[in-house]
Amino acid sequence: MENTEAKKIVLSAIQPTGTPTLGNYLGALRNWKNMADDNECFYAVADLHSLTVRPEPKLLRQRTKEMYALLLALGLDPERNTVFVQSHVNAHAQLAWILDCYTQFGEAARMTQFKDKSEKHPEIVNVGLFAYPTLMAADILLYQTDFVPIGADQSQHLEITRDIAERFNTLYGDTFKMPEPFIGKKGAKVMSLQDPTKKMSKSDTNVKGFISVLDEPDVIVRKIKSAVTDSEARVYYGEGKDGVNNLMTIYACCTGKSFDEIEQEFEGKGYGDFKAAVAESVVEELRPLQTEFARLIADKAYLEDCMKLGADKASYFANKTLRKAMKKVGLYSVK
C-alpha cells in the first residue's frame, strides 16, 4: 500500500446494534479519536456484522446513519480519516469468503463471543454468527493494518485474524500485514452497571446495565445511582468489589485521576457522594459528543456525502489487497 509519510495504518469498526455505550466509548471510540491525527485511519460502521442478530431492517438503516454521525461527532475528520459503512465496500464480504476457506471449523467454534451470543440468541444461531471472526479478519487484513484499537473482549478475534493471516502468508507468500491489537490500559473492559461480572453491551436487554453515550444527564445520574455495588461502603479498588472497581475505572477514565487519588478523594465518604461524582464526570465527558451529534444528525445530505467519500477511499485500498489475495489463491482474472 502506498503510504508516503510512513504513517501507521489503523482500522477499527463498530456494529450499529444500538447506541454506543460508555464501554464502547471508553474502550474503543475514544482511542479512535486519539489515534486519528498521527495515523492513517480507517473506521467503519460494521453493518454486515450486525446482520448476525437479524435486526429489523428499518431500525438497522436508522442505526447505521446514527452510528456514522456519532463517529463524526467524535471529532473525526472525514477528509483526513476514512470513515465508511462496511457494506458500501464490496471487498469485505468477498475477502471474508476466501478467508472462510482458510479457517478451521474448530478454531471458529472456540470463539467466546460465538458461545456467548449463541446462548443469548438461541433462536438465531446462524452461520453468519459463526463466521463473524473471518469477516472481522477481512475488515482488518484488507487495509494492511498495523493497529486495531479494540476493547479487551475482541482480543480473541484479533488473535484468530493473526492466525488466519499467518496461515495464508505461509501458503502463498506475504499477502497480509500482521495486525497488532491496541487495547487501552483503563476502560478496556467496562462492566455492566447491573451485573459487574459481565461486560457492558449496547445490545443488553436491561437498559439499566449500560449508559448510552446519548443518555440525557438525568438518566446518567439515575443509572449510576442504581449501579450495583457492595455493602462495605468504602471506595477502594479490590477483590470482590466488582461494582466499585467498575465505577472507579469509569471515573478514572473520565477525570484522568489514578485509583490512589480516587481512594483518597472519597476517604470517609459513602457511595452516595462517590456515585454523584462519577455521574458528573460522565456527563461532562459526553457533553461535547452529544452536542456535535445533535448538529450532525440533522444533516442527512452531509452525512451521505461523507459516506460516499469514505466508501470510495476505502474501496481503493481494499480492492488492491483483495485483487492480490484472489490472484494468490488462483481465481482466474482477465485484464
Catalytic residues: 117, 199, 202
Quick check: 150 binds ligand ATP (CB under 6 A)?
Answer: yes
Q: In the structure grid, which three cell numbers stand for residue 173, read together? A: 507468500
- Burial (Cβ within 10 Å: 0-12, 13-18, ≥19) of residue 301: exposed
Instruction: Assess contact for 191 and 227: CB atoms under 8 A.
Output: no
Select 17 or 194, whichever has its Cβ closest to ligand ATP. 17
Select 156 or 175, whichever has its Cβ closest to ligand ATP. 156
Instruction: Assess contact for 20 and 67: CB atoms under 8 A.
Output: yes
Stretch near ligand ATP under the rule CB under 6 A, chosen from 15-23, 211-219, 239-247, 295-303: 15-23
Quick check: 151 binds ligand ATP (CB under 6 A)?
Answer: yes
Quick check: 181 binds ligand ATP (CB under 6 A)?
Answer: no
Binding residue (CB under 6 A) for ligand ATP from 63, 65, 162, 189? 189
Q: Residues binding ligand ATP: what is the number (CB under 6 A)?
A: 20
Quick check: 76 binds ligand ATP (CB under 6 A)?
Answer: no
Using CA atoms, how far apart are residues 302 and 284, in angstroms rounded to an integer? 27
Quick check: 24 binds ligand ATP (CB under 6 A)?
Answer: yes
Select 67 or 325, whichever has its Cβ closest to ligand ATP. 67
Quick check: 319 binds ligand ATP (CB under 6 A)?
Answer: no
Quick check: 28 binds ligand ATP (CB under 6 A)?
Answer: yes
Q: At 90, is the secondary structure helix, strand, or coil?
A: coil
Using CA atoms, how far apart are residues 331 and 196, in angstroms rounded to an integer? 49
Give residue 264's Cα distance to chain centre.
33
Q: Classify residue 149 by its DSSP letter.
A: E
Q: In the structure grid, which three cell numbers stand for residue 98, read together? A: 476466501
From 244, 99, 87, 76, select the one nearest 166 (Cα to Cα).
99
Select 17 or 103, whichever has its Cβ closest to ligand ATP. 17
Quick check: 199 binds ligand ATP (CB under 6 A)?
Answer: yes
Select 146 or 153, whichever has its Cβ closest to ligand ATP. 153
CA dihedral defined by 74, 135, 317, 17, rounded to 10 degrees? -20
Residues that bind ligand ATP (CB under 6 A): 14-15, 17, 21, 23-24, 27-28, 150-151, 153-154, 188-190, 199-203
